[in-house]
Amino acid sequence: MSMARKQRAARMLRAATAAAVLLLAGCAGAPSREDPLEPMNRALYQVHDAVDTAVIKPVAQAYIDVVPQLIRTGVSNVFNNLDDLFSAVNGLLQGKLDKFGDDLGRVLLNTAFGLGGIFDLASMVGIERGNEDFGQTFAAWGFPQGPYLFVPLFGPTTVRDGTGVVVRIALGPVGYIPEVPLRNSLYGVGAVDLRAQALSAGAIVDTAALDRYLFIRNGYLQRRRYLVYDGKPPPEPEEP
Amino acid sequence: MAAIDPAAWRRAALVLIVTAALFGTAATAGAQEAPDAMVKRVAQDVLATIRSDPAIQAGNEARIRDVLEAKLLPNFDFARMAALAMGKNWRGATPEQQKRITDEFRALLVRTYSSALNQHRNETIDYRPLRMNAGDTEVIVRTLVQRASGAPIQIDYGMEKKADTWKCYDVVVAGVSLVTNYRDEFNEQIKGGGVDGLIKTLADRNRGVAAK
């Protein structure tokens, strides 16, 4: 290699190093190693918050005001019953046979004697929900959490949890309903039911948070960690 | 045997009484209330008061705050909560800043707690068995709040042993520690405007300025 080419290569290396340092310094502005995409996520959160305030929250509030508690509980129970079935599957996938048994028992009891899941008899007799899902199964299998994501209309998640949700939705059963309007209505009711359940939590976040984006992010990540470790998370390493 | 002087009898009796009194005090201090019993007593007392107070039933949230101030808050160690939320920044703050942060953080938590309590006052609490070894100075008291609708919520209280009582330094709702949850927010405020910036933001929130 000629002298001139060597010098040019050295200059390019220096320029590349400088660029990398600048880039890293820029990244240092994002405080959390769990949320490297914070600037993008914050923008998406703003979009979500605007749509939520304008449309989704009022709809959920109207649902609470119009539909009696008894019926709303029945609706939640039907969707929970489906989730319990997938919780049983995920308990099995992680080798948690006690949770698998409890969740399967819940589904059988509630489906057979609770009118297809409208009544949660299993909770009345004290069989607790396992609360397992694909995101937790992936964690148990050693998949890394991946970056935190805020998805408008859906909410906080991570690459690992979001993948789990995609798997869950793909497996149905609502997606298998051939009649499109009915299928979409069911998705809609499910979404409104979830949002309505979160209304009181949202009011608490509004009072408590200094920065709602961070409050929701940290709450979500803490909650997921707690679920992954079945309520016994090891102490978190102190950040340097 | 010579008759004992009545004055000597009286002296002996006095010594006995004083000793008994001293031991009695010591015994009471030794038999300190267990942390789970204490959480249960305080929670039941607060809930019973709130449920029977006509002003609160009519939706008076300021009255809830009075009840909390009288019955609940003396059982919290707010300085420790503020220090935990500040993390490594706590030691960099002056004692005066530490006190202001503690006061403002306390006010914020009370506002949050009273609005939450206002929405959830009619729920019942199950107390889980306490796992504690003799000599433990920190324990977690686990409770399960049964709601009229929806899944029960686990609420745990981190309790620290003090000289003659236990004090709560963290509340963990469904696995989310209230204190830890503030750490990034506090950090961000301090990065942006120093410790005084954090104090100002907390004070603004307490005066009802909305969060960003």
> Cα A115 vs. chain centroid, distance in angstroms?
29
User: Which residues are registered as beta bridge partners of A150?
Assistant: A156
Q: Output the pTM of the full model.
A: 0.76
Q: Quickly tell me which residue has 């490297």 as its tokens.
A: A36
Instruction: Give the model's confidence band at A30: pLDDT under 50 very low, under 70 low, under 90 confident, else very high.
Output: very low
Residue B36 placed within a domain: yes
Separation of CA B188 from chain center: 27
Contacts of B87 in chain A (CB under 8 A): 238-239
A·B CB contacts under 8 A: 79
Residues of B in contact with A203 (CB under 8 A): 115, 119
Average pLDDT of every residue of chain B: 81
Residue B181 within a domain? yes
CB–CB contact B119 A227 (8 Å): no
Asked if residue B1 belongs to a domain, the reply is: no
Distance in Å, alpha carbon of A104 to nearest chain B alpha carbon: 18
Find the domain containing B168 and state its range.
6-210
Q: Above 60 in pLDDT, residue A28?
A: no
d(CA B192, CA B74): 33
DSSP state of B143: E
- Nearest 10 degrees: CA dihedral of A223, A224, A228, A229? -30
In this prediction, residues B157-182 reach a mean pLDDT of: 89
- Residue A4 pLDDT grade (very low, low, confident, very high; cuts 50, 70, 90): low
What band does A21 get if pLDDT is binned at 50, 70 and 90?
Answer: very low
Distance of CA A25 to the CA centre of its chain: 30
Question: Alpha helix locations (H) across B125-182?
Answer: 178-181
Instruction: Report the range of poorest mean pLDDT among A66-80, B68-82, B114-128.
Output: B114-128
Does residue B13 register a pLDDT over 80? no
pLDDT value for A209: 86
* pLDDT over 50 (residue A142): yes
Of A39-48, A87-96, A135-144, B21-30, the poorest mean pLDDT is in B21-30
b/e string for A197-209 if b means 16 or more Cβ within 10 A? Answer: beeeeeebeebbb
User: How far is C-alpha A198 from the chain's CA centre?
Assistant: 13
The token duo for A184 is 């979409």
pLDDT of residue B3: 56
Q: What is the mean pLDDT of chain A?
A: 82
CATH number of the domain enclosing B120:
3.10.450.710
ipTM for the complex shown: 0.73
Domain membership of residue B154 (yes or no) is: yes
Burial group, residue B148, by CB count within 10 angstroms (0-12, 13-18, 19+): exposed
Measured from the Cβ of residue B137, the count of other Cβ atoms closer than 10 Å reads: 9
Query: What is the number of structural domains in chain B?
Result: 1
Question: Residue B28's pLDDT band (boundaries 50, 70, 90)?
Answer: very low
CB contact under 8 A, A210 and B151: no
Q: How far is A231 from chain B (nearest CA, A)?
A: 7
Give dist(CA B19, CA B7) in Å, integer: 18
DSSP H or E run through B111: helix B95-119
